[in-house]
Amino acid sequence: MRIFVRLRSSVEQKFENAMETISKFFKEEKDFLYRRGEKKTKHTIVENLILELGLADEQITKIAEVSLDFVKNIRLELKKK
């Protein structure tokens, strides 16, 4: 059992070191899946600001830090529902 515990901690340390090394080369902000998730989150935020608070488009652009076109497109989507 002690051997497994030692092996596990050794492997865990090596894994963390490898991940730190990789993170120097790859930035998550540039990853397309990261950006897709970020856009989906902003979409949800804008949708909630429209439906729950009834804010004006200009207010939403400042709060959610998105473009006016982005807000207008979401409004159009909501009207179609």
pLDDT band at 20 (very low <50, low <70, confident <90, very high): confident
Total domain count, the chain: 1
One-letter identity of residue 58: E
- 42-56, pLDDT tens digit by residue? 999 999 999 999 999
pLDDT band at 16 (very low <50, low <70, confident <90, very high): confident
The pLDDT of residue 66 is above 90:
yes
What whole-number distance in Å separates Cα of residue 79 and Cα of residue 81?
5
Comparing CA positions, the residue from 71, 73, 53, 54 lying closest to residue 62 is: 71
Structural domain that includes position 56: 2-80
More confident residue, 19 or 63: 63
Q: How many CA atoms lie within 13 A of 48 on its CB side?
A: 8
Is the CB of residue 68 less than 8 Å from the CB of residue 40? no
